Structure 1
C-alpha cells in the first residue's frame, strides 16, 4: 500500500477510515442520548442461553488474549521486530496506531460513562465503563495494523483471515461473559478500524527512509 494521491488511497480512506468512524459516531451519539439500543439486551440474553459452567471457565481465560495475554505481548514483539529491522516508518505507524487506540478508548469511556450490563453474574466481571469495548478495540487495532504492515507480503491473506477470526472470537467472549453490550463491541471495532486505517494514510508504514550521503 503506497501513500499516493490516487483513487485507491481515497477508496481506502473512505471504506476503511471514514465509514467506520461515521458508524462509531452514530453509535456514540445514540448511547449519549438514549443510553442504548433495542438489540443489546436480546442479543446478550440469546448468547447467555448457551452458557455452561465449563465454558464459563474457558471463556474467562480466552478473553484475556484480547489484551494482557495476547494483544500486548504480540504488539511488543512486533514493535521489537520493526525496531531490530530498522523499519522506522512502520514502527512509527504501529506505535502511533497502538498508543492512540488506548488513548481514544479511555477518553471515550470517561466522556460517555456507559455502565456495563448487569443481566447476570459474570464469571469474569469488569468494573469500569463499557463503551467502547477495550478488548474489541485492542484486538481490532492489532489485526488491522498487522494486516496493513503485511499487505505487500505473501502473508497478507493469512494475517487477514486468522486476524478476523481472532477479532470475532474476542468480541464474542465479551458478550458471552456479559461484560459488554453488542453495541460496545461494534463501536470498539469501528473506531479502531477507522483510526488504524486513517493513521496508515498519514504515516505510510511502507515508505523506505532514504539515506543521504
Structure 2
C-alpha cells in the first residue's frame, strides 16, 4: 500500500503515456495503403477503369435519385469539414491534456493536421483535377485543369480527425469503439460527397488512402513530439519560476515601535493625510506630530518669558513694582 508521500509524488509526476511504435504489422498496412494510393493515381492518369466508373456514377446523379435525404446530407458532410471538426476534436483533446497532465494529445492532433495539409494539399494542387460539376468532356479524367478536388479533402480530413481519437485511446475497448466510429464517419462523409456531386468516386477512395497513410505514419513522429513536449514544458516551468520569484509588496511599518498584545486589541489607526494638523489625536490616544527638522539644544534660540508667572486671579490686583517691607528694595516679579 502506498503512503501519502508516494501518492503525492505520483500525482505530481503522472505516468508517461504509452507511445505507439511502428510495428511490422503497421508497416505492412502502410505499404499496402501506399500501393493502393499509387494505383488509383496511375489509373486516373491513364484514363482507365477508375475514370469510367467515375463517369457512370456521375451520370447516375444520386442526388436526383434520392432527393429526400439531400437536406440531411448537406449538414452531415460538415463532419468532414476541416474547421468545425478540428475545433471540436481540439476542445476534447485539450480537456484530455488537462486531465492527463501531458501535451501529447494536442501535439498528435497538430502533427496529423500538418501532415494532412502538406500531403493532401500538395496532391490537390499538383494534379489539378476538376470536379463533376465542372467537367468539360464526358470520359476525360479532367486532370491538370486547375481544379483542387483530387484527393477528396473532406474524406481525408474525416479519416484523420476522427481517427486521431482512436489513435490516442488508452484502453483496447475504447480503441475498438473509436476505430469503428471513425471508419463509419469517414465512409459516410466520402459517400455523401459523391451523392452531392462534388467529388468523383476515385477522389473519395484516394482521400481514404491519404488519411490512412497520415494515421499510420504517426509513430514515426512520436520521438520528435516527445522532444517538443519537453521543450514546451521547460519553457512553462521557467515562466512559473520567474513569476514565483517576483517579491511581494511589503506593508508599510507603522510608527511607534513594534505592536504589543495591547495594541492588537485597539482599533487600527487611520492614515493621516497631508492636510492634517500637527498634534492631532489618532484613535489610540497618542498624538501624531508632523515631521520637522531636528536641532540640538545649543542651536535653539533662548526665549525669555514675559509677564507674570502667576495664574490670573479675580481678587488680586496686578503689581508691577512691589516693595518688600523688610528691605525697601523693589523686586520685579519673575526676576
TM-score bucket (shorter structure):
0.7 to 0.9
Which has the larger helix fraction? 1
Task: Please point out which of 75, 85, 96 is paired with 1:71.
Answer: 85
Task: Please point out which of 3, 17, 39 is paired with 1:26.
Answer: 39
Q: State whether residues 131 and 198 of structure 2, in contact with CA within 8 Å, keep that contact through their aligned partners in structure 1.
A: yes
The equivalent of 1:150 in structure 2 is: 169
Q: State whether residues 97 and 141 of structure 1, in contact with CA within 8 Å, keep that contact through their aligned partners in structure 2.
A: yes
Q: State whether residues 51 and 202 of structure 2, in contact with CA within 8 Å, keep that contact through their aligned partners in structure 1.
A: yes
The equivalent of 2:254 in structure 1 is: none
Q: State whether residues 89 and 204 of structure 1, in contact with CA within 8 Å, keep that contact through their aligned partners in structure 2.
A: no
The equivalent of 1:159 in structure 2 is: 178
Flag the 1:184–1:65 CA change in 2: closer, same or farther, 3 A: same
Measured in 2, the distance between the counterparts of 1:158 and 1:205 equals 28
The equivalent of 2:51 in structure 1 is: 37
Larger radius of gyration: 2
1:154 CA drift (Å): 3.5
1:175 CA drift (Å): 0.4
1:135 CA drift (Å): 0.3
1:114 CA drift (Å): 0.6
1:159 CA drift (Å): 1.0
Q: State whether residues 93 and 204 of structure 1, in contact with CA within 8 Å, keep that contact through their aligned partners in structure 2.
A: no
Task: Please point out which of 195, 202, 205 is paired with 2:221.
Answer: 202
1:129 partnered with 2:142: no
Q: SS at the partner of 2:122?
A: helix
1:29 CA drift (Å): 2.7
1:50 CA drift (Å): 5.9
Q: 1:1-213 alignment to 2 at 5 Å? A: 2-4=19-21, 9-15=23-29, 17-34=30-47, 37-46=51-60, 48=62, 51-68=65-82, 70-84=84-98, 85-118=100-133, 128-150=147-169, 152-203=171-222
Q: State whether residues 194 and 201 of structure 2, in contact with CA within 8 Å, keep that contact through their aligned partners in structure 1.
A: yes
1:40 CA drift (Å): 1.3
Q: Structure 2 stretches of 5 or more lacking a match?
A: 1-17, 136-145, 234-335
- Residues 181-200 of structure 1: CA distance to partner in whole angstroms, max 9, x if unpaired? 11101101101101211122
Q: SS at the partner of 2:71?
A: helix
Measured in 2, the distance between the counterparts of 1:145 and 1:168 equals 16
Q: Structure 1 stretches of 5 or more lacking a match?
A: 121-126
Kindly indicate whether structure 1 or structure 2 has the higher relative contact order, using CA contacts under 8 Å at least 6 residues apart. 1
Measured in 2, the distance between the counterparts of 1:172 and 1:77 equals 27
Measured in 2, the distance between the counterparts of 1:142 and 1:68 equals 8
